[in-house]
């Protein structure tokens, strides 16, 4: 009996150590990729990156995320491709950020950055401190993403400003839920690959920033 308890205690300790390692590596890589994105965005703004090139970069990043990263996620190249992905996404924001700055709304960009940071640290911190299991949210969030995707495609033809605002708000809520969900998966051993965890959290932060900036821009116009 004592041997069984010792084995169980050892297994539990090993699991906690592994979880802490994944968390530590995830947040370290996430920090570096966010800084790298900011760097590439700044460089792209300085050279005056065009909307067309930015769109190509966005599609290239999506291609890497869907087709390249899954094949290299368990190797050192996974980290390299993660930086390529986040660098492209950061640079693709340049035309939008330049437009805000040129319109005298650079302050809104800083507000969006601050708001995004507050949302991420608050929700991720809550999941870490409480250690609650948010896996039940997976199905709800997936359905929400599908509904938003359909609405976005429809609004390409409808061009309804109010619908665009509502979608941005909903996307922020969904991405906030995904921060809880993704952090919870790491804590409870559902995600053991820190590269994949980093990409998931990065995309949550990236989308929150874009849509929070959009909402702030619309409200500022009013």
Q: What are 102-123's pLDDT values in tens digits? A: 999 999 999 999 999 999 999 9
Question: What secondary structure letter does DSSP report for 47?
Answer: T
In whole angstroms, what is the distance from residue 169 CA to residue 117 CA? 17
Residue 8 has pLDDT above 90, yes or no: no
Ramachandran class of 193: left when φ > 0, alpha when ψ lies in -120 to 50, beta otherwise? beta
Name the residue range of residue 213's domain. Answer: 2-221
Token pair for residue 94?
């340049």
- Taking CA atoms, 192 is separated from 24, 84, 219, in Å, by 12, 22, 41
In whole angstroms, what is the distance from residue 170 CA to residue 103 CA? 26
Binning pLDDT at 50, 70 and 90, where does residue 11 land? very low
Residue 7 has pLDDT above 90, yes or no: no
The number of distinct structural domains making up the chain is 1
In whole angstroms, what is the distance from residue 24 CA to residue 92 CA? 28
Terminal alpha carbon distance of the chain = 70
Residues 69 and 85: beta-carbon distance below 8 Å: yes
Binning pLDDT at 50, 70 and 90, where does residue 129 land? very high
Binning pLDDT at 50, 70 and 90, where does residue 3 land? low
Residues 36 and 90: beta-carbon distance below 8 Å: yes
Which stretch of 1-15, 56-70, 177-191, 192-206 has the lowest confidence by average pLDDT?
Answer: 1-15
Residues 180 and 127: beta-carbon distance below 8 Å: yes
In terms of C-beta density within 10 A (0-12 exposed, 13-18 middle, 19 or more buried), how is residue 124 classed? Answer: buried
Q: What is the pTM of this model?
A: 0.92
Each residue's pLDDT tens digit, 168-211: 999 999 999 999 999 999 999 999 999 999 999 999 999 999 99
At residue 82, the pLDDT reads 97
In terms of C-beta density within 10 A (0-12 exposed, 13-18 middle, 19 or more buried), how is residue 105 classed? Answer: middle
SS3 call for 188: coil
Percent of the chain whose predicted confidence (pLDDT) is above 70: 93
At residue 155, the pLDDT reads 87
Biggest CA–CA distance in the chain, Å, is: 72
Residues 85 and 30: beta-carbon distance below 8 Å: no
Average pLDDT, rounded, for the chain: 92
In whole angstroms, what is the distance from residue 55 CA to residue 156 CA? 16
DSSP element (H, E) containing 59:
helix 51-63
């Amino acid at each position: 009996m004592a041997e069984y308890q010792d084995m169980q205690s050892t297994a539990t300790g090993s699991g906690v150590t592994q979880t802490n390692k994944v968390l530590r590596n995830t947040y370290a890589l996430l920090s570096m990729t966010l800084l790298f994105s900011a760097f590439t965005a700044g460089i792209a703004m300085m050279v005056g990156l065009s909307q067309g090139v930015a769109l190509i970069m966005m599609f290239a990043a999506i291609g890497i995320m869907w087709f390249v990263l899954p094949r290299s996620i368990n190797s050192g190249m996974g980290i390299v491709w993660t930086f390529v992905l986040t660098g492209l996404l950061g640079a693709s924001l340049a035309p939008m950020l330049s437009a805000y700055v040129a319109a005298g709304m650079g302050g809104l960009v800083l507000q969006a950055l601050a708001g995004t940071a507050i949302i991420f640290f608050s929700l991720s911190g809550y999941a870490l401190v409480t250690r609650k299991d948010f896996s039940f949210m997976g199905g709800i969030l997936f359905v929400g993403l599908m509904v938003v995707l359909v609405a976005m495609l429809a609004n390409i033809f409808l061009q309804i400003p109010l619908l665009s605002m509502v979608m941005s708000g909903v996307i922020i809520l969904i991405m906030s839920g995904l921060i809880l969900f993704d952090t919870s998966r790491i804590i409870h051993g559902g995600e053991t690959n820190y590269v994949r965890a980093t990409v998931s959290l990065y995309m949550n932060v990236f989308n929150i920033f874009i849509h929070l900036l959009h909402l702030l821009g619309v409200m500022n116009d009013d």
